[in-house]
Chains A and B, each alone.
Chain A
Amino acid sequence: MKEAAPAARVNLDGVASASVPPIVRYLDEDGELLVSDLPMSDEMALEGYRVMLRGRRFDERSVSLQRQGRMVTLAPGIGQEAASVGAAMAIDAKTDWFVPQYRELAGQLWHGYPLRLAFLWHVGHPIAFQVPGDLKMLPFQAAIAGQLPQAVGLAWGLKLKRDPGVVLAIFGDGGTSQGDFHEAANLAGVMKAPIIFLCQNNGWAISTSIAQQTASETLAQKAVAYGFPGIQCDGNDLFAVYATVREAARRAREGKGPTLVEAMTYRLGLHTTADDPTRYEPRELHDLWVNRDPLRRMQLHLKSRGVVDQAALDRIEEEVKDELRVAWDEAQKEPAPDPAFYFGQTHAEPSPRLRQQLERFEKHGDL
């Protein structure tokens, strides 16, 4: 540990503010470029836009199905698509792990999680927990920040194995109040674990505003205490998130350890379908962020660059609609879960008592 030059005078003024670099931003609210060099090709940007749209329309469809009583309580990520997709695009799905909380489905879709399973998640089918095949992704996590110690263990484990993979761990502003976040960040710093902590600061933890959540000026600065960099980026700007996380991933891969990225975004939807933001959310704040909608921004950008015209955007809309229809149809074909499934998924070998309980179920049809 470095020793600071000693001082005989006790001066506590101004020591609470920790400095973080300026916020990273490429696009203004109307999709105009603020810098000359883009971090990705137009083709890639268009692909990113398509996956953001897929996430948006999936969420809208899900909320509507939930209102019809066909889905369970769910947490839409409307308004936050650029944050998770930009981050997912910045890592390599072949080598790197995506560790979600539960409001980054759009990014998960980019990484390879299938839409069909996403729908099954929202109907409460246990198979949705089963991240398919070799996909490097952990299941959804309901315990806020509970995934972070695991993500650090995973990153540290990869490092010890000389595996080239890095870990992208996503959580929200509320998560930064959890011990698990701080304990995980501390260990990640100590082990120089190859991990990117991506905090989606969407302004709200259900009804708790960011001002009620923390006295810190930024969430990014919390990294400073753990000995690694923290940086903010515009979370509604696909390019900004991508460029920031890509740099964090590069550091991780080079053995330089963790980075905390605070993506400044906003929850335009509900916490969950059981929530009513009109009870606590100032209307003007909501409207302000509607104008910063990441999808609108990308549309304006792509059009102004001549990558797409309105007809092409309409075509993408139709294609995404079709994809969702197909995935929802497939999801509905999934056989209802067999309660016996659980008995096989609790231990590798069920105990005699568990076997007895299963036998009872098979005889009586209930548990």
Chain B
Amino acid sequence: MSTEHPITFKRLQREESASFDRSTLDYIHRASNTGLYEIRGLGAKRKLPHFDDLVFLGASLSRYPLEGYREKCNTKTVLGTRFAKKPIVLDTPITVAGMSFGALSANVKEALGLAATAVGTSTTTGDGGMTQEERRSSKTLVYQCLPSRYGFNPDDVRKADAIEVVLGQGAKPGGGGMLLGQKVNPRVAAMRTLPEGVDQRSACRHPDWTGPDDLAIKIQELRELTDWEKPIYVKVGATRVFNDVKLAVHAGADVVVIDGMQGGTAATQTCFIEHVGIPTLAAVRQAVAALEDLDMKGKVQLIVSGGIRTGADVAKALALGADAVAIGQGVLMALGCNRDSYQQSGKVHSAEADYAALGTAAGFCHHCHTGKCPVGVTTQDAILEQRLEPEWGAKHLKNYLKTLTMELTTLARACGKQDVHHLEPEDLVALTVESAAMAQVPLAGTNWVPGRTG
């Protein structure tokens, strides 16, 4: 006797639950196996309202465009004009976001510096201090002051071109850093004053100040220490952006960095990455509104980060009011993150077996936290790190940053702008109601900006 269901019911027998889909089942099975939350790298994977939901209104009859290849379009970007005697002057508004030595290898840090220097932009240190490699290779280096203060010392403050006080990051606003033991090799351990191989959990609050009034004094200390020369950035993970930006400005920041929830991380709980913070698109507009409210637009510069991938993303961020962007994950991908192969000593090698050993494949990998990066980017392993050769990495990253800058100027010219910083919200419309509401630009084909009356 057959136990098969009648053929007409087969699809119902295989109906996937929307609430308990296969990813959710995997999650529950994993949780019930381990009793421990999942930790991973990179940023939010879920679909979010983003810059893709906006389009530019290119010039036509009511406005005229600039000739794409003949007329100049300025990309020069100046950061830190409020109090610092030596503001940061960049050739492009596209900067490299803060990423730690520890999360990344010394080779990668060197590649970042070489590429950034070649295109005239800045790189940023991370949790764990400044390496000689990155100071040597990066002409303009932003030095982070983080809650952990790992490797933080006044000599490096003096060597830096700007200081970034980090309150949080988009992947985990309210959380501290993490570096699992596999990546705490002897050099990383020594720089951070930690035992080798320890699963390092960084503090989420600064050790010597709490709240906006204290931050004002902390910023003053850093200014006094550097004789008021270097710009002070304040970086916040995007949550209560309007209030946080206002408080950062009141505390005396020269530059505010807002990192949206698509921002990456080397290791954070998945529940944190996917469920805390607001999308970058929503954060930009709120940050600009806060600056405008204080009449500080153009006086305090705004850097936006979190899921910026293309020249179009950069152009849209600038049009909404950012002065510059910072890119982390896109930069790592330019270096080969999630490629199926790597190049070493002039030869191409497949990385697929190493992805498979991590239980993943090129295109899906988020195993930065394991330190077993198949392409040698997010690792401290002596063999794996050789898979990213600084010159190869620098060349690819330079190409990526150049491409983005070219795309940015192409779009700016199409909107009739001689300077990428002249892009404005009026150049944009939204494709979805959500993005129209978040970015406060009209839904395409209408005059409707959700939430705006009159």
The yes or no verdict on A and B being binding partners is no
